[in-house]
Chains A and B, each alone.
Chain A
C-alpha cells in the first residue's frame, strides 16, 4: 500500500531537497494513515488487542531462545524506561537535557557500590539508586530558575561531562576506567535472578511501572502544567503555574526513573564502567525521544526499539549500518518533523519564514 506510493514518487528527478521532502511527505503521511487505521481497528476491539499484545509480550522470552537476541530485547526495555523518563523533561516540559546518562550512571554506580562493597540487599538499594539520582536531578533543576533555553542546555551538558569525569577519575570509589565487575545479582525469597528471561520480566515490570506513572502524570494536573510550560513559559507563569517548582519536579521524577534504569543495568550486566554514561549516550536518548515523537510515550518505546533494533536489522551491512541509520533518521525527520508517533505537528515558537509561507 505504501510502497506503491513510494515508487510513484521516484519517477521525478531528485533535484531539490524541498521537492523530495514534499513528495515523500505524502508517503510518510500514508504510513501514518495506515498506522491510524490499525490503531482505530484495535481501539474498537480493546480486549482482544490487549490480550493479544499481552500474550506476545509475556511469551517473547519463550519464543526467543538466542541469548544475544534476549540481551537486545532487555536493552530495549531498559532504554524504553530511559527514553520515557527523558520524554517527561524534553517532550513534556520542553527542557532539553543532555545530562540524562549522568543520572543513569549515578543509579548504576550507587547500586554497584552498595551491593558489592557494602553487601546491602538489592531491594533496598534499587529504590535508593533512584532517589539518589533524583537528588542530583533536583540539584540540576536549581539553575533552571535563572538560566533558560539553550543556556540551560549547556548547563546540562556541563553536568553530564562533570559526572562522567568523576566516574572516570575518582578511582578510589569507582575504580575509574576499569569499572566495577562482579556485581551480585538480586535475590527474591531465596530465588536468584540469573537468566536473560528472568531479567526480561524484571525489565518489563520496570517499564510498565514507568509507563503507568508517566502516563498518569501526563493526564493529570501536573502534566497539563508541564505542557503549558513547554508551550509558553511566560504565559504559564501568568496563569499561576509555579514554573520553577514544576520544572524541578519534572527533573526529579525523570531522573528517579533514570536511576532505577541504571540500577537495572548494574545488576543485569553485573558490571558498570564510565563509558556507558558519556554525553554521547545522552544524545542517543534524546534522538530516541524526538525521533519517536516528543511527548508520546509509545513513541519513546518505538524510538528505543528502533535505535537498538537497527543494529540487529542491518547486521549484514555491519560497517555501513550507522551511516544508513543516520540517513534514515535524517530523511524521516525531514518528512515528518514532529516525530514518528506524534500526531499533532509541533508549532515553532518563533517563525523564520520563507516568503511563500507568508500569507
Chain B
C-alpha cells in the first residue's frame, strides 16, 4: 500500500517536475513569476486533444505539434509581454504575465469551451504486476519519459554550447552579452524550452487521468510555483526535488489523511518547509542586499 502510493506519487511528481523546470528556469534568469506558464502549456495540450480526437492524427505527430505550439507561444508571450519591461520593476511584468494569461485563457475558452473533455490514453490501459505492486503502463510510461527528458535536459545544459550560454545568461545578463552571447535569443529559447517541457508534462498528465480542461492551466502554474519555491527557485535540482516532494505529499496525503484536503496538506507542508528553510530546500542563502 505504502509502496503503491509512493509509485503513484513519483509518477505525479515527475509530471510536476516537467512543468516546474520551465517555470524555475525563467525565474532563474529574470526573477519573473511567469503566471502565463500554465495557460501557455494548456494551449499545447488542447491542440493535441483536437488533433487526436477530431482530426485523428497519429499520437507521436500530434504530440510533436503540440510541443512546438507550446514552445512558439511561450516565446511569443515573452516577446510581447515581458521583453519590453526588462529592467523595469518586476511586479509589473508579473501583472502583464497575468494579462497575457487572461488573454490566452479566454482565447482557449472561445475555441474549446470551459467543459472538461475526455483525453485519449497514449498507451494501453493495462497494469503490470510486480510483486504485489501495481504499476499501470501509463505510469511507467510517464516515469520513463520524464526521466529521459530530465536527464537529457541536464546533459544539454551542461555540455551543449547553447545550454552553456543559458547558464551564463542566468548568472549575469550584461556580462553574458559582453562575452558575445545573444542574450535576447537565449532568453526566448529558455521560454520556448519551458513551454515545450510544460506541454510535455501536461500531455502526460492528461493521458494519465484521461481528462483535459482549461482550469488545469492556472492550477498548474500554482503547483509549478510551489514546487519551484519548495526546492529553491531558479535551481534545476531544486525543481526536481520540489516537484517530486509535491507529487509524493499529495499522493500520500490523499490516501492516508483526506483526499478533500490533499492540496491543503501539501500547502501546509510547503509553509512548514519554508519556515525551517526560508530559501527552499536547495536554494542559495538569499542575502538581503543584492
Contacts and interface: CB of A to CB of B under 8 A. Distances in A.
A166 B261 CA distance: 8
B174 A353 contact: yes
A231 B166 CA distance: 31
B83 interface: yes
What's the dominant secondary structure at chain B's contact region?
A: helix
A51 interface: no
Nearest to B81: A330
Contact of B173 (A96, A143, A327, A352): A352
B180 interface: no
Interface stretch (A38-46, A259-267, A285-293): A285-293
Interface in A301-359: 319-320, 322-323, 325-327, 329-330, 333-334, 337-338, 346-355, 357-358
A283 B219 CA distance: 13
A200 to B, nearest CB: 29
B43 interface: no
B84 A151 contact: no
Q: How large is the interface on A (under 10, 10 to 19, 20 to 34, 35 or more residues)?
A: 35 or more
A169 interface: yes
A155 interface: yes
A294 B91 contact: yes
A326 to B, nearest CB: 3
Interface stretch (B12-20, B45-53, B56-64, B225-233): B225-233
A269 B229 CA distance: 38
Interface string B53-89: 0000000000000000000000000011101111111
B148 interface: no
Contacts of B84: 17-18, 21, 334
Contacts of A21: 84
Interface stretch (B102-110, B124-132, B205-213): B102-110
Given A165-B260, A234-B288, A334-B84, A358 B96 contact: no
Contact of B271 (A155, A291, A323): A155
Given A17-B80, A151-B279, A287-B95, A323 B268 contact: no
A155 B273 CA distance: 10
Interface string B155-183: 00000000000000000011001000000
Interface of B: 27, 30-31, 33, 35, 79-81, 83-92, 94-96, 98-103, 105-107, 109-110, 173-174, 177, 218, 222, 225-226, 229, 233, 258, 260-261, 263-264, 267-268, 270-271, 274-275, 278-280, 286, 288-290
14 contacts: A18-B83, A96-B91, A151-B274, A155-B271, A162-B267, A165-B260, A165-B264, A326-B103, A330-B96, A346-B91, A347-B89, A348-B88, A348-B90, A350-B31
Interface of A: 17-18, 21, 96, 143, 146-151, 153-155, 157-159, 161-162, 165-166, 168-169, 233-234, 279-280, 283, 286-287, 290-291, 294, 319-320, 322-323, 325-327, 329-330, 333-334, 337-338, 346-355, 357-358
